[in-house]
Amino acid sequence: MTTSEKIVFTRGVPPPEAFPTEDLGACLDAVVREDASVVLQYGQQRGYAPLREELAAEYRVSPAEILIGNGSLQLQDLVSSYLIHPGAAVYTEQPSYDRAIKTFRRRGANTVGIPLEEDGISIERLEAALEREVPAFLYLVPDFQNPAGSTLSLEKRRRVVELAGEYAFKVIEDIPYRKLRYEGEDLPMLREIDPTNVVTMSSFSKLLSPGIRVGFMISPEDLIGEVTALGEDTYLSPVLPTQAAVAEYLRRGLLAPNVERLKELYTPRWKAMAGAVRRELPGAQAFIPSGGFFVSVMLPEDANTQDLVSRASEVGLALTPGAAFFAAPDDGVATEGDRFVRLPFCAVTPDQIEEGARRLAGIL
């Protein structure tokens, strides 16, 4: 690696070596030939039926509670357009996934950020916000959060679903990283604690490929029906060949070994980023996750964060502006977004990670 090489700490995407190209290609080829009259046609508005059945079995729900669409972000946007009335509050973690914040705002939400702690959203601050206003929904990424990397503790999971029942609001749990755990044990999904008010969103983008655009949601059937109708009015029918390829991939038993392969690929990168952050940025508050794609840091107050992204670019380091991940704060106090740095580690090699962390430390 040369010092002139650009290092990209902006992309929360799988690298090309993560794609199961041969197997996925074979599955796509097989389903297009074997089920052409369905997968090359309009139809299956709730998603390719065999894939809905696979997912229903995995999540122990009825297929009527599953909707598969063109990536989970689009489903989330459709859910937002149904649930958000202009001016309604949507609560998110602070920081939260920037594109989700954007879609909520586009649908007219007053998006309010509730501080994120190492073990997930601050319950105290959530309760205080609920006293003021009940939101259209609360959006959470409970496992290996994007952008911070935090995971919601069991105790907080229980309290969140309890509060959703008490105050009658929906919780969207968005879990695309959940299966990429590098250490420790899974915590229950919110829906496993109590599904009454929970909408679960997930995706094959991080487990197979983002380009196939296969994401799904699980919720009570009435919401599935509403969102299906909105989807039909938006794109007629979902992209069926890739959904069918995923169904075939699952049927052949290929997903679990692929997830193991991804963990082997990402674990050294995760360790490299965790080590580099501790070594190069000892004064920062670091979130070191047990899985997923992101380490993050809150830089110390005396760090030089003026024009951080452009100064990083001058030393060949691409960073995402931290403020993009911050909704309006719940208490009106200015956000600390400029001190927040997301550090995606999956699409960079350990050498690039070491060098990138050194460059970041050098400009603070």
Ligand X SMILES: Cc1ncc(COP(=O)(O)O)c(C=O)c1O
Tell me how far, at minimum, the Cβ of 230 lies from ligand X, in Å: 16
Q: What are phi and psi of 135, to 5 degrees?
A: -80, 165
Q: What is the DSSP string of 151-186?
A: ---HHHHHHHHHHHHHHT-EEEEE-TTTT-B-SS-P
Say how many C-beta atoms besides its own lie within 10 A of residue 324's C-beta: 15
User: Please, what is the angle between helix 240-251 and helix 49-59, to 10°?
Assistant: 50
- Closest CB to ligand X among 63 and 95? 95
Q: What is the DSSP string of 329-351?
A: ETTSPPP-GGGEEEEE-TTS-HH
14, 63, 176, 238: which one binds ligand X (CB under 6 A):
176
141, 161, 227, 281: which one binds ligand X (CB under 6 A):
141
Binding mask 71-90 for ligand X (x = CB under 6 A): xxx-----------------
Say how many C-beta atoms besides its own lie within 10 A of residue 362's C-beta: 12
Peptide linkage before 188 cis (omega within 30 of 0): no
Both structure tokens of 335:
């956000």
- Closest CB to ligand X among 140 and 284? 140
Contacts with ligand X in 83-122 (CB under 6 A)? Answer: 97
Contacts with ligand X in 12-71 (CB under 6 A)? Answer: 12, 71
- Closest CB to ligand X among 21 and 41? 21
CA distance 305 to 43: 51
- Closest CB to ligand X among 173 and 338? 173
Tell me how far, at minimum, the Cβ of 176 lies from ligand X, in Å: 5
Q: Is 203 in the site for ligand X (CB under 6 A)?
A: yes
Tell me how far, at minimum, the Cβ of 77 lies from ligand X, in Å: 9
Tell me how far, at minimum, the Cβ of 101 lies from ligand X, in Å: 11
- Closest CB to ligand X among 105 and 358? 105
210, 241, 316, 321: which one binds ligand X (CB under 6 A):
210
Number of residues that bind ligand X (CB under 6 A): 13
Count Cβ neighbours within 10 Å for each residue of 139-174 and write b for 16 or more, e otherwise: bbbbbbbbbbbbbbbeebbebbbebbeebebbbbbb
174, 248, 338, 354: which one binds ligand X (CB under 6 A):
174
Q: What residues make contact with ligand X under the rule CB under 6 A? A: 12, 71-73, 97, 141, 146, 174, 176, 203, 205, 210, 215
